[in-house]
Amino acid sequence: MNAVIWTIEERCKQCYTCIRECPAKAIKVEKGQAKVIESRCIGCGHCVRVCSQGAKAILDAVPTTLKYLAENDEPVIAMLAPSFPSAFPDLEPEKLVGALRECGFDKVVEVAFGADLVNQEYVKMSPQGEKHQWPETRRPVITTSCPAIYNYVEKYVPELIDHLAPIVSPMVAMGRAVHRIYGKDVRNIFIGPCTAKKFEAQDPKVTDSVDQVLTFRELEEMFQKLSIEPRDALASWFDPPHPFLGRIYPVCGGLVRSSGLPYDIMDNDIIMAEGKQQAMRLLECAKECSVKASLVDILFCEGCIAGPFINHTSNYFTRKQKIIEYAESRRERTNYAEWSQYLEKCKNILLHRDFTEKTVKLTEPSESEIQRILAGINKYTLSDELNCGACGYNSCQDYARAVHFGLAEREMCMPFLIENLRHTQGELQESLEELAETQDMLIQHEKLASIGQLAAGVAHEVNNPLGSIMLYAHLLLQKMQDEKSAKDLKFIVEEAKRCQKIVSGLLNFSRQGKLNLRKLDIADTIKKMVKLTEKHPLFKNVELRTEIEPDLPEVEIDPEQIYQVFLNLAVNAAEAMPKGGILTLCARSDEAKDRLILEFRDNGHGIAPENMKKLFTPFFTTKQIGKGTGLGLAIAYGIVKMHRGAISVKSEPEKGSTFTITLPVKSNLAPNSALLQ
């Protein structure tokens, strides 16, 4: 059997609309692509109709039909479904028939005559008919004119197979009638709105009736390929046999009305239903023996006028009106004698058939398995089960069962995806912020590296002449007897020492020393620095507070260099509070990242926004000339970086600044490692 419906993967956009509309849940999602499962499909075509991307393809009968017409070795007969007036609402029937003849069809007949033949069989089965064959159980007889209905029963409600009316569809009846009237060698091409007819045409039990099934859309495609404009076609009329009331079959209740079976809304003996939801509910009720009717007439679509390949530009009621108007206009012209003669001629045509169970066996999941699957999408309680239907399933439980059967994927749960997306966005935002911070640090690092190399060279070159100046200044000072001249020489020595201090800072900045790592309690270094600052004049009006978390882990640091960093930051904070203030030193552990976090918070004048990016640049200072070299923060930055740590600052003018240092608990550096940039 050839596949009738399948998915064009490159067009599938993961909307899951087809899953939502598929009554048989015959669609399996693989890597986000909704693929039709042939063994589960009933051919209703709902997935084709609702797919806005055109991602559902059907078995194409156009090439074979054109081949039949081109060969011209056997008569080819077009069998037009009764729903054609609603498919071509703006086209006169005579023009449509004429266009079909221009395509090359030898005969054009109405399948509605097949409906008249089928009607006689339903009448015979009714209590008022010749043979009372209603089942004795409470379950009703289910009409079988709609292939999607009996396909569904065969696959999903096998308990009702014995209650399917053993009668062929109008298409099969008409195909056999055409063979009776026009010969066994003719090729029958059924043209209608339904994909289920393509399934039926491949059914081994009825393959003798129809050679190909064209949809109305495929017929329009044929017109285009053959350059035929139906409106310009020569008007013509259908070939016999001509139907009677079978023309109203496409609407709900058409079978009951055209067959003449008694129907009263106050009588439950006959029930009519149309549309996917009504059909499935009615079949379930029939399975549970809660339907008392003798006959149930069901169509999976809202009548054939709502089939997947009907003209949906007009509304349902307009389409229904077209069918009724056409049937009524032709009824008045019916030649009853001729109609009766053809009925008699087709009297012995085989109109009965049987049905076979085709159940797809699936192992039901246990309750614990369902709970496990739901837990995978963060649904642990009943309140978590939103039953929103976004995945295409009516409930989260149905979705979990589909996952168990291998029909669905975890990524189909929209609330789960949205929640994950929120987390991902949060993580992405955090990563972007960290990336931006790292990028700024790298830029700063490159600046410091280049300046550090320059500083090292300058310091080396200045140190030699500076040493000579100090040496000869001391020699002169020893020989000098003049007090005024000696005073001048002492000034030269002091200034030379000041230059030496600057050079020493340059050497420290260029990182030509070594780390002497020791494992110790960072609180000791903080206390040592606090004790020193208590006697420093800068801290006369500054209150020092410490917030040290107890039981801090020991860290591997060079205590002297980290002490220098702490002292530099404390001094800078005091200088930012010339009128006094509060300096708070905090130390806490971040166990998740195995690091210590230290903060120096002051309530001084803060840092101007335009200076924030320059803080760690060598020789940048906002102090008066002679008050600072601009190397303090640059050196602190270098020392922290050598410890594989990080230093950052947040500041607001007139509200204060916070310098934050993070140090790894384990440095992963070898003792006495070189201070490399």
Whether residue 463 has pLDDT greater than 80:
no
The whole-number pLDDT of residue 667 equals: 65
Q: Considering the chain, tell me which residue range(s) the CATH 3.30.70.20 domain(s) occupy.
A: 1-58
The whole-number pLDDT of residue 623 equals: 63
Indicate the fold that domain 1-58 takes in CATH: Alpha-Beta Plaits (3.30.70)
Q: Left, alpha or beta for 32 (phi > 0: left; psi -120 to 50: alpha)?
A: left
- Can you spell out the DSSP letters for 372-429? HHHHTTT--SGGG-----TTSSSSHHHHHHHHHHTS--GGG-HHHHHHHHHHHHHHHH
User: What is the Cα–Cα distance from 516 to 639, expressed in whole angstroms?
Assistant: 12
Which has more confidence, 45 or 483?
45
Assess contact for 122 and 255: CB atoms under 8 A: yes
Residue corresponding to tokens 């496990």: 372
Residue 11 — very low, low, confident or very high, per pLDDT cuts 50/70/90?
confident
Which has more confidence, 240 or 27?
240
Assess contact for 358 and 155: CB atoms under 8 A: yes
The whole-number pLDDT of residue 349 equals: 94
Kindly report, residue by residue over 633-676, the tens digit of the pLDDT.
Answer: 888 887 888 888 889 999 999 899 999 999 998 766 555 544 43
Which has more confidence, 134 or 198?
198
Domain 421-510 has CATH 3.40.462: no
Burial class, 669, CB count within 10 angstroms (exposed 0-12 / middle 13-18 / buried 19+)? middle
**End-to-end CA separation in angstroms for the chain:** 73
Whether residue 677 has pLDDT greater than 50:
no
Kindly report, residue by residue over 194-214, the tens digit of the pLDDT.
Answer: 999 999 999 999 999 999 999
Which has more confidence, 489 or 227?
227
Helix axes 216-225, 93-103, angle to 10 degrees: 60
User: What is the Cα–Cα distance from 15 to 23, expressed in whole angstroms?
Assistant: 17
Q: Considering the chain, tell me which residue range(s) the CATH 1.10.287 domain(s) occupy.
A: 421-510
Give the Cβ contact number of residue 309 at 10 Å: 24
The whole-number pLDDT of residue 174 equals: 96
User: What is the Cα–Cα distance from 650 to 654, expressed in whole angstroms?
Assistant: 13
The whole-number pLDDT of residue 676 equals: 36
Kindly report, residue by residue over 279-324, the tens digit of the pLDDT.
Answer: 889 988 888 888 888 888 899 888 888 888 887 677 888 888 999 9
Pick the CATH number of 512-677 from 3.30.70.260, 3.40.50.720, 1.10.8.420, 3.30.565.10: 3.30.565.10
Whether residue 131 has pLDDT greater than 50:
no
Mean pLDDT of the chain: 84
pLDDT > 70 fraction of the chain, expressed in percent and rounded: 86
Exposure string over 146-181, b if 16+ CB within 10 A, otherwise e: bbbbbbbbbbbbeebbebbbebbbbbbbbbbbbbbb
Kindly report, residue by residue over 580-622, the tens digit of the pLDDT.
Answer: 999 999 999 987 778 999 999 999 989 888 888 777 776 667 6
The whole-number pLDDT of residue 8 equals: 87
Q: DSSP code of 553?
A: P
Q: Left, alpha or beta for 639 (phi > 0: left; psi -120 to 50: alpha)?
A: alpha
* pTM for this model (two decimals): 0.63
- The winner for highest mean pLDDT among 15-29, 126-140, 471-485, 542-556 is 542-556
Kindly report, residue by residue over 500-531, the tens digit of the pLDDT.
Answer: 766 766 666 555 456 788 888 999 889 888 88
Residue 154 — very low, low, confident or very high, per pLDDT cuts 50/70/90?
very high
- The pLDDT of 466-477, averaged and rounded, is 78
Assess contact for 89 and 311: CB atoms under 8 A: yes
The whole-number pLDDT of residue 134 equals: 46
- The pLDDT of 424-442, averaged and rounded, is 69
Residue 405 — very low, low, confident or very high, per pLDDT cuts 50/70/90?
confident
Cis omega before residue 204 (within 30°)? Answer: no
Whether residue 425 has pLDDT greater than 60:
yes
Kindly report, residue by residue over 357-403, the tens digit of the pLDDT.
Answer: 998 777 788 888 888 888 888 888 888 778 777 777 878 888 888 78
The whole-number pLDDT of residue 658 equals: 95
Which has more confidence, 642 or 151?
151
The whole-number pLDDT of residue 130 equals: 45
Assess contact for 603 and 535: CB atoms under 8 A: no
The whole-number pLDDT of residue 668 equals: 62
Give the Cβ contact number of residue 336 at 10 Å: 8
User: What is the Cα–Cα distance from 452 to 450, expressed in whole angstroms?
Assistant: 5
The whole-number pLDDT of residue 487 equals: 78
Which has more confidence, 192 or 17?
192
